[in-house]
Structure 1
Amino acid sequence: MLEYQAAKDLLMNKTILVTGAGDGIGRAAAVAFAQHGATVILLGKTVKKLEAVYDVIEQAGYPKPAIVPLDLQGATEQHYIDMAETIEQQFGHLDGLLHNASILGVLGPFQHIAMDSVQKVMQVNVIAEIMLTKALLPVMKKAPLASLVFTSSSVGRQGKAFWGEYAISKFATEGMMQTLAHEYEGSNVRVNSINPGATRTGMRANAYPAENPQTLKAAEDIMAAYLYLMGHDSVAVNGQQINAQ
């Protein structure tokens, strides 16, 4: 997948929403999508970070992005419904949705899981994804071809000791992907998941504080898989678990 070469105009005239677009993989994906012609909707909770990504995209001369400040921890279903209506009004349809935003929660023995922590993890990593997807699917169905991409993890495909909260949320993400892929099979909407692998991000640093980040790939180095899933080269790919590395 790292060898995939995306055409410069791969995403021309497409509108793609990226959650967690303020930093890390979300930021890299937003810039990469814009670089290949997409109008990117930047969703995140920290306006300053979103504005910084906006400036990078605008200064590079890529299509002008849009900013949607939203805290997935506290957003209600109505927030997502209102956002979907606004997107439909402004853009007519949505060609792509990258679910990237996640929180790690607390790593530790299953017996020590604190319910307030696991509820926060499930709210951001699962419930928010359900509400956002539910609200945006009608707008995506209006696109000629639409791609819905969930961000998974190796621990969402094979459980790992002490990763309970996060792993369970990512197993749920994989289940959501598979359910939707089966439901929309044969339609204009394709649904897949992507495991970014070990990447130089803040979340990775929190999970592995003793690790040398310079031994990891930067987020910008793994964008081939993200571009592939959002572009026309993957129109026949549905229900697949893709590895970025």
Structure 2
Amino acid sequence: MYYQPKNNLLDHKRILITGASEGIGRQAALTYAHHGASVLLLGRTEHKLNIVQNLIAEAGGRKARVLVFDLANTQLAPYQGLAQILADECLYLDGLLNNAGILGEIAPMAKQDATLWSEVIAVNINGTFMLTQALLPLLLNASSPSLIFSTSSVGRKGRATWGAYAVSKFATEGMMQIFAEEYTAATLRVNAINPGRTRTNMRAKAFPMEAPDQLKNPADIMAIYLYLMGDDSRHKTGVSFNAQSDVKQRGMT
């Protein structure tokens, strides 16, 4: 379907984006801010987050909040501490886009490095879960909150050599479905987005011989990110969407 979001779709909404320093997370932050949101930029690299913050300010958006945080943290305390800091600033969070993730290595299962495997699972699954769990009270305090997970086609059907990344995305699909089932009686809606073949640094690492000019830019796939974060998707939950086929934005795709 084609989707034309209102310019003020996210006006006054407070949205946290993980992996906001580059790629899809960066573009989502810019897009959400353009549509009126106050965005919280979470990532590991402060100077990259500051660049995004400055771009939002230069475009006339609401002041963005930079949160330097590493989802490789294995202890619960840092996640709870972050949630408390945000709760002290505001009692609610309208949206959480769990976009951050790492690739690991493209190699057969028999040759997957165990240390890299653990790092991928730590960030893509464990860290994402602990952050989501810690922020749930803030999301549930909002009038129409949206929780979005980032998935992949290799998390729906196993593909040789995709190892830990694919396993983490299978788990992401399951985590999304469980959260959606557990909150069917609440206003919280929970969905996932598969961005597809998109021009990002992660894609370039996975497919170094691929011509980047044959790929969509992150800006080209923002329609689904807007649709699911805004109130137009109020009754959609438990669905895994494909960014490049399920929802398109007129004039952009």
TM-score (norm 1): 0.98
Deviation at 1:71, TM superposition (A): 1.4
- Alignment of structure 1 residues 69-84 onto 2, 5 Å: 69-74=68-73, 76-84=75-83
Match of 1:232 in 2: 231
For 1:75 and 1:51, locate their aligned partners in 2 and report how far apart those are by CA, in whole Å: 25
Aligned length: 244
Give the letter aligned to residue 172 of structure 1.
Answer: A
Distance 2:44 2:35 in 1: 25
CA–CA distance in structure 1, aligned partners of residues 229 and 83 of structure 2:
19
Cα distance in structure 2, aligned partners of 1:34 and 1:212: 30
| Structure 1: runs of 5 or more not aligned | none
CA shift at 1:76, angstroms?
Answer: 2.8
SS at match of 1:64: coil
- Check whether the contact 1:15–1:91 (CA below 8 A) recurs between aligned residues: no
1:112 is aligned to: 111
- Amino acid of the structure 2 residue aligned with 1:48: H
Aligned equivalent of 1:66: 65
RMSD (Å), alpha carbons: 0.8
Q: Which amino acid aligns with 2:171?
A: A
Alpha-carbon displacement from aligned partner over 1:147-175 (angstroms, at most 9, x marks no partner): 00000001011110111111000000000
Query: What is the percent sequence identity of the aligned residues?
Result: 50
Task: Please tell me whether the aligned partners of residues 149 and 192 of structure 1 are also in contact (alpha carbons under 8 angstroms).
Answer: yes
Q: In 2, are the aligned partners of 1:92 and 1:139 still within 8 Å (CA)?
A: yes
User: C-alpha displacement at 1:226, in angstroms?
Assistant: 0.2
Give the Cα–Cα distance (whole angstroms) in 1 for the partners of residues 12 and 131 of structure 2. 22
Q: 1:75: Cα distance to partner?
A: 5.7
Q: 1:68 to 1:75 in 2, by over 3 A?
A: farther
Structure 2: unaligned runs, 5 residues or longer: 245-253
Counterpart of 2:185 in structure 1 is 186
Corresponding letter in the other structure for 2:51: A
Task: Decide whether aligned partners of structure 1 residues 30 and 75 sit closer, same or farther in structure 2, where only a CA change above 3 A counts.
Answer: farther
Instruction: Give TM-score, length-normalised by structure 2.
Output: 0.95
C-alpha distance in 2 between matches for 1:82 and 1:70: 11
Shift of 1:113: 1.3
Alignment of 1:191-210 (within 5 A): 191-210=190-209
Structure 1 Cα separation of the partners of residues 107 and 113 of structure 2: 10
- What corresponds to 1:41 in structure 2? 40
